Chain A
Amino acid sequence: MILVAVGDFPQVLLERLSRRTRIPLGAGRMDPAVARDNVRGQYDSTRLLVELKGHYDGVVIGATGHDLYIPVLTYVFGEAEMPGRAAIFSIHRLREEFYGLAPDEARLEERAVRELWHEIGHLHGLAHCRDAACVMSASHSIEQVDAKTDQFCPACRAFVQWGRLQPAADSQPA
């Protein structure tokens, strides 16, 4: 499993996420231009998953600063194959600036690490969890992202540990 930047993404944050999750960084940076919808000014996340799989072998998670969408929704925070080998998440709507507030890098990192674990859970085949504190609980708004923790609940953790993507098991948050 590797973590790669897709288009704009702060290198410092990318490295911190890699250290915290113990997921190694992939080589280079993927250009997302092919997935851009010029009318919406957003990037088609499903298309980016296809691109990621084309560019990298094995399990790959894209991290982007661009706003993501799927055709029927106005936006998504991220998307993952479930189970599968490609996932992507965006920090576009995780930034305080998006909501008209002053930048807060520490808060951004906490939110990003949650979304990263969340997509990893999906890669393992996990659906959304009813436990509001579990990192797998649904997050369709920034309030929901903030309401949860970066931890899997015991049931989801067991699922990830005994699931098909064993490498992730040794890098779960404590």
Chain B
Amino acid sequence: MQPEKLSILIVDDEQVVRDSLGHWFTEEGYAVETSGSAGEALSKLASRETDLVIADIRMPGIDGMELLERIKVEQLDTAVIIMTGYASVETAVRALKHGAFDYITKPFDPDDLSVVVRNALEQRRLKLENRMLRQQIEESHALDELIGQSAAMRRVREQIETVAGVDSTVLIEGESGTGKELVARAVHRLSPRRFNPMVVVHCGALTETLIESELFGHEKGAFTGAQFRKKGKFEAAMGGTVFLDEIADISLKTQTDLLRVLQECEIVRVGGTQPIHVDFRVIAATNRNLAEMVKEGRFRSDLFYRLNVFTIQIPPLRDRHGDVPLLATYFLEKYSKQMNRKFTGLDRPALDLLISHHWPGNVRELENVVERAVVVGREPMIRAQDLAVTRPPEGADDLRIESIERRHIVRVLESFGWNQTQAAKALGIDRVTLYHKIRRYNLKPLEKAIRA
């Protein structure tokens, strides 16, 4: 006897087919429902989970093929078998192309029918099992990369778990290199949207026109170079999460557009007129103080309040020195494995050096330092001399990563005679980012003096 019944919905406009198939599947031990039309079937499918739909291809109104399409568009999680009155290759190909598990021709051989149904249900079971296992793995590893035993990091992990399940907007604040994207990914992986994509938009790297097209998509011919219609990130998220990194870098105009999307869940592609409904969750991140920017009139207050529903603040590494050995060991294992090297740990002086460092570049800087040490170090231990950690220069201003970056960019620009294309190439960033940074730091060729 079967412990729990699998459910089958038979969709056919002919009563006799519904009755006889219904009875036959009841004998087989399935929980059977029948519908006389595709419309009725869709409302039944919306209200309860159904393992398998067996639908006739020819029905008045919505036919079996359209029913199949709607089931796939709605992402209803059910297997579909199409019944046809007579065999035709075109019909079979169409049905399979549209995602049917199989198609069968009336009248069916009972043995064939039972095999097709059993296979369809088995495939669905495997799919569901696969998803469940993946979910378990994702859940158990979602927070793994957020390493640290400090109270501050424990609080970050607690906050992630709290907010992941609810669908509210999350604002992540933290200095560069603290792991804002990791936190965003953890929130996404623990959320009900985890089976849909998380799309990342690095707002700082895009010019105003580009960011609009990136976020909202564009129609063919919307601007020079728009040769094809392109979906924006909000559409691409398809029910998932949109991670807006460096949100403070978007212009006031884009802020207005973004606010409208958040309020109305609708986008209009650049060059388009039709509003398109979009379903997404926003996680935004910034390394700047948005509240200050609001006061200064550089960030819209209404957008700020929209984003600032739940805030997660990631502490800079210098405020959680206790986590440095843990992180260093984690990166050491990671890169040793990647580069097939056999390091067992860091010696005491190396650890002391790491703990005493100020880490203006936060965890990313630590990761880079350890990665380099794995390359240059001698197995089995990483020693202090393997660590490219510079003693912090005197003066509070010099500790800020911005000032280091600013000086470095000026130096590179100078060496290329302010040719931005060549300088960007040397810096390993794209020209737009460099352009942005020049504007942000207000750099001009006159600043030769700084180099001196």
Contacts and interface: CB of A to CB of B under 8 A. Distances in A.
Contact of A73 (B1, B26, B30, B113): B113
A156 B1 contact: yes
Contacts of B28: 127-128, 138
Nearest to A131: B1
Nearest to A46: B20
A168 to B, nearest CB: 17
Range for the number of chain B residues in contact with chain A: 20 to 34
Contacts of A130: 1-2
Contacts of A138: 28, 114
Contact of A69 (B19, B107, B113): B107
Contacts of A159: 1
B1 A140 contact: no
Interface of A: 46, 69-76, 79-80, 82, 122, 126-130, 136, 138, 140-141, 144, 153, 155-156, 159
Contact of B110 (A46, A74, A129): A74
B27 A72 contact: no
Q: Which of B1, B2, B20 has the most CB of A within 10 A?
A: B1
Nearest to A154: B1
Contact of A127 (B21, B29, B107, B114): B29
Q: Which of A73, A130, A136 has the most CB of B within 10 A?
A: A73
B20 A71 contact: yes
Majority SS at the chain A contact face: loop
B23 A140 contact: no
Contacts of B23: 46, 70, 79, 82
18 contacts: A46-B23, A70-B20, A70-B23, A71-B16, A71-B17, A73-B20, A73-B109, A79-B27, A127-B2, A127-B26, A127-B29, A127-B30, A129-B2, A130-B2, A136-B1, A140-B109, A140-B111, A144-B111
A129 B113 CA distance: 17
Interface of B: 1-2, 16-17, 19-21, 23-24, 26-30, 83, 106-111, 113-114
Contacts of B108: 72-74
Which 8 interchain pairs have the tightest Cβ spacing?
A127-B29, A70-B20, A140-B110, A140-B111, A141-B111, A128-B29, A155-B1, A74-B107
B16 to A, nearest CB: 5
Contact of B27 (A46, A128, A141, A156): A128
Contacts of A79: 23, 27
